[in-house]
Copies of this chain bind each other. A is one copy, B any other.
């Protein structure tokens, strides 16, 4: 369609503004769910060096659920050990302690480091691979999403009268397409390794870019959207377009830190460990060993200070940052031949008061929360914002999910952002503070305090401790059930809560609101060991994980099969089926052979604890657990067992999930892997499942 003034116009279900990690995570969800979506970015290309680099345990689990975690895992540097250096009584630094970087047992992934540009490439590859490679593959899907670069939004209008309807496009966005030259203001071409232009010490460049662009009408277009997601960073254009009431609030400190990505030439012994060095009087430094022999140094810059005002950026150079590092590390020497990237930033924390407007326009990532980068949280939290939001928008667009679920995005993610701010505030102060000289030195930071805070932070920094509060998606009693070490924040009341009741004692380590953990189980059909997460990919489906217990016992087997019969003939038929995209089962068989049947939006997995060889899949279990397809035969990939493997040890899944094999449990897992409900295998649990889904899914 063409509007009156010859500006081309079109519509799209979801428009994503910004193609950094948050925007690309959103785009990947859209690709996997087959949503008609576009993603635009003002820059000419993805990031090639510098920027974010830390991948936390939960992020790796999420990436793995899309099939790209192992690419990060393989290329990244793994950080295993943290070394803490402090001044001794002569003021000379010495190694104080060595501790593990991530508490063993939290996740099968530890913390790793790889530059953001590789992550962006993996997203781009995964988005491309979500669509059939050839026309012979007949799976339904919308046209492929590709990043539209050098594209900038110039206006955003929401028709608030139309927000409640499913079929309207209440948002109108004008986009301007720029030439590469226009999208690259001259000052940025000078030095690719200089990251200052993205630093929070620099202003936004969107206006510069717009001013530089010519105004020929034919290079503009109008896009009507159902949803818009602003993933456009700390200087978010989208946030500004929503008005001043969306501005983030918080505070800046006077601390300035420099960042150097170098191949170090040094005799400092812990240069390949994450090392935290507090010097007696020259400030602090953190070593982040990276891929490709690189090391990132975070260095406190005492030479420059904000002093409550603006920083003189011209004073900050890599040479000056290196000199600061040399002072802190003395008597050890450090030099470099290669510098890959450098920047500087002022420590501060800000969070947005609103994460969405009318549940039609959303903000994610740095657009709604900013903080200091040293704990490696920024890219992770940003991707996890989009991971939380993507399936919700996607399933609403597909008319599978009730629209009111969209309010849970702000409810769940604002809490995390506030926790992040609280954490960062404390961590940065500890980090930038001067070491305590002695017990009477009240303004110094005690090194015991620091080491303790560091250890206690793992649950939060890995994001494994994230615990979403009661809502329609999380059935649990209200009240604070955060773990020790999780930052305390004020909780908002959720507007709607589930009428379903969880019985948390049935599965002690599958707590509603937290991510469902992964442990090793064996396939009943072929004895192959699997991480249970590998059978729970991010394909948009809800999952009912049935811990069936000891089904060699006839009574328990009867209960489990009754549940199967009810699920297959009653619950599942109420709700839609959904075609799965290519690549949606990255750790399973690709679906080479087409069938006429689409899977239910609710996937049923069963994990029993009877001896594997005593159970015959087809004979002993209800067909809900191994559905029949007239072209493909029986399904063999939904029933698992907790027991010893031939080659990979014993997963001890029941013990680790906290489930008693005598009773079993039913755990409802959301499409993003968080536990929504824990209930009984027996018929007393059916009503809970029924109520949970009734408030969330739209019936057929």
Contact = CB atoms under 8 A, between A and B. Distances in A.
A633 interface: yes
A593 B292 contact: yes
A273 interface: yes
A269 B526 contact: no
Given A528-B78, A593-B338, A646-B100, A632 B269 contact: no
A74 interface: yes
Interface in A74-119: 74-75, 77-81, 98, 100-102, 104, 110
A555 to B, nearest CB: 24
Given A269-B618, A272-B636, A647-B110, A527 B263 contact: no
A338 B631 CA distance: 7
Contact of A80 (B101, B104, B527): B527
Contacts of A483: none
Contacts of A645: 80
A664 interface: no
B631 A291 contact: no
A630 interface: yes
A293 B588 CA distance: 10
Interface string A319-345: 000000000000000000110000000
A525 interface: yes
A46 interface: no
A100 B529 CA distance: 13
Contact of A631 (B70, B266, B337, B525): B337
A264 interface: yes
A420 B346 CA distance: 68
A452 interface: no
B593 A263 contact: yes
Contacts of A104: 646-647
A135 to B, nearest CB: 16
A307 interface: no
A269 B613 contact: no
Contacts of A632: 263, 265, 293, 337-338
Contacts of A465: none
A25 B593 CA distance: 30
A630 B337 contact: yes
A264 B587 CA distance: 22
Contacts of A587: 74
A694 interface: no
B526 A80 contact: yes
Q: How many copies of the polypeptide does the oligomer hold?
A: 2
A646 B529 CA distance: 23
B589 A291 contact: yes
Place the interface of chain A in its size category. Answer: 35 or more
Nearest to A104: B647
A616 interface: yes
A492 interface: no
A293 B526 contact: no
A619 B269 contact: yes
A484 interface: no
Contacts of A273: 525-527
Q: Which of A77, A272, A292, A618 has the most CB of B within 10 A?
A: A272
A647 B80 contact: yes
Contact of A528 (B80, B264, B589): B80
Nearest to A75: B590
A636 to B, nearest CB: 5
Interface in A607-635: 613, 616-619, 630-634
Given A80-B647, A647-B80, A647-B104, A292 B592 contact: yes
A102 B527 CA distance: 13
Interface string A256-271: 0000000111110101
A589 B527 contact: no
A373 to B, nearest CB: 21
Nearest to A292: B592
A289 interface: yes
Given A292-B590, A587-B74, A633 B263 contact: yes
Interface in A56-79: 70, 74-75, 77-79
A633 B81 contact: no
A438 to B, nearest CB: 28
A174 B478 CA distance: 81
Contact of A616 (B81, B263, B269, B337): B269
Contacts of A593: 263, 292-293, 338
B525 A272 contact: yes
Contacts of A75: 590
B292 A589 contact: yes
B81 A527 contact: yes
Interface in A639-676: 645-647
A70 B586 CA distance: 13
A224 to B, nearest CB: 40
Contacts of A77: 526, 589
B617 A269 contact: yes
A77 to B, nearest CB: 8
Interface in A264-323: 264-267, 269, 271-273, 289, 291-293
A13 to B, nearest CB: 32
Contacts of A592: 292-293
A170 B272 CA distance: 51
Nearest to A595: B337
Interface in A480-530: 523, 525-529
Nearest to A78: B528
A439 to B, nearest CB: 29
A632 B587 CA distance: 38
A593 B193 CA distance: 14
A629 to B, nearest CB: 9
A81 B526 contact: yes
A118 to B, nearest CB: 10
A591 B267 CA distance: 21
9 contacts: A70-B70, A78-B528, A79-B526, A80-B647, A264-B633, A269-B619, A293-B592, A293-B593, A338-B632
Given A263-B632, A263-B633, A293-B589, 7 more contacts: A70-B74, A79-B526, A98-B613, A100-B647, A269-B617, A269-B619, A291-B590
Interface of A: 70, 74-75, 77-81, 98, 100-102, 104, 110, 263-267, 269, 271-273, 289, 291-293, 337-338, 523, 525-529, 587, 589-593, 613, 616-619, 630-634, 636, 645-647
